[in-house]
Amino acid sequence: MWTDSTTVLQWLGSLDKQPIFVANRVSEILESTTVDQWFHVPTADNPADAGTRGMSAENLRTSSWLTGPSFLLTSHFPFQPSTSIRDSLQTKPSLHDSQKDVTEPQMAFAVNIMQPEKIFDFDRYSSFNKLVRITAYLLRILPKHASYRTPDRNICDPDELRVAEAKLQFLMQLESFPVEQKLLFDGKQINKKSRIAPFSPFIGPNALIRSTGRLKRLVEADYDLKHPIILDSRHPAVKLFLLKAHLENHHEGVEFLRAFIQRCFAIIRLRPALRSIKHNCILCRKRSADTVKPMIYQSSVCPLVIHLSPTQG
């Protein structure tokens, strides 16, 4: 049996204690199979991907979904499943190793991660548009941005604002993910416990950290939709950006804004940040406030009813 998930292979062969959800699934698999019966197959040779991902009928007819992988059609498998996965599995240390760790002296090194020096004091700004325009004016100092300079010092080219916003996004990522950004620039793998590790990040255009997902297989989708820019909602500039989106979309709901923003950005903890903005918005609180119902006065005295006959009219 083969699987293209290296994570599942690690769960099956690991001796460490797993979360309850994972432990229950692993126990069900090991009831009918053994660890030695499971091997790794690359995603490109896995026929299950053809049935679970988007594919035209013409490509499906010639894919391995109907015929199976090519190495199964031979008498001697030329394809050898990778066994390097099991070599990297974490195993529990033995008693001898644990005693050795206690008796032998150990040296600890303190690692000091230098935080980047802040260029902006973002807490002093209340508008994202103003922050972008200030960034644009600062970039005019550079010789390569001299073409944007105007006699009246006004910003006339919309492309200048787009460049300034991209530089501002780079600065947000530098302050939010300094370690991850340095590792990605050096071509190294980031820590699996990093906050942006689930996004499979990479360095894209304008030196921005972008996400990788299944949408990359879409042909007609925009590049920003397939590879959104990763940001942290706790950054002050990101909060200003979310506030701007909230105001420009006329105080729409959280789910609408979330779908609108995720077309270009993958923001960590986006929904709680949008909820906080909507909760603190005075206009949204007025719209969602309960209407005041007038008090109805009920008298205990029965009203006097006078019946008049036609002759008394």
Is residue 99 in a domain? no
Q: How far is CA 197 from CA 170, 189, 191, 268, in A?
A: 18, 9, 7, 11
Is residue 47 in a domain? yes
Instruction: Judge if 26 and 158 occupy the same domain.
Output: no
Instruction: Judge if 127 and 237 occupy the same domain.
Output: yes
Instruction: Judge if 63 and 128 occupy the same domain.
Output: no
Instruction: Judge if 88 and 150 occupy the same domain.
Output: no
pLDDT tens figures, 32-75: 787 777 777 777 677 777 666 666 777 777 777 777 776 666 65
Instruction: Judge if 149 and 11 occupy the same domain.
Output: no
The model carries a pTM of 0.58
Is residue 240 in a domain? yes
Tell me: pLDDT of 270 over 90. yes
Instruction: Judge if 56 and 138 occupy the same domain.
Output: no
Q: What is the pLDDT of residue 48?
A: 73
What is the average pLDDT value for the chain, to the nearest integer?
A: 79
Task: Quickly count: other Cβ atoms within 10 Å of residue 103's Cβ.
Answer: 7
Is residue 217 in a domain? yes
Instruction: Judge if 219 and 280 occupy the same domain.
Output: yes
Given 92, 112, 139, the domain boundary residue is: 92
pLDDT tens figures, 175-211: 999 999 999 999 898 998 999 999 999 999 999 999 9
Is residue 98 in a domain? no
Is residue 312 in a domain? no
Instruction: Judge if 184 and 260 occupy the same domain.
Output: yes
Instruction: Judge if 62 and 145 occupy the same domain.
Output: no
Q: Which of 142, 133, 203 is nearest to 174 (CA)?
A: 203
131 class by beta-carbon count within 10 Å (0-12 exposed, 13-18 middle, 19+ buried):
buried
Instruction: Judge if 154 and 280 occupy the same domain.
Output: yes
The number of distinct structural domains making up the chain is 2
Task: Quickly count: other Cβ atoms within 10 Å of residue 164's Cβ.
Answer: 23
**pLDDT cut 90: percent of the chain above it:** 39
Is residue 75 in a domain? yes
Question: Greater confidence, 87 or 200?
Answer: 200
pLDDT tens figures, 124-149: 898 999 999 999 999 999 888 888 88
Instruction: Judge if 38 and 161 occupy the same domain.
Output: no
Tell me: pLDDT of 281 over 50. yes
- Determine the Cα–Cα distance for residues 102 and 88; give it in Å rounded to an integer: 24
Instruction: Judge if 83 and 137 occupy the same domain.
Output: no
Structural domain span for residue 280 = 122-287
Is residue 306 in a domain? no
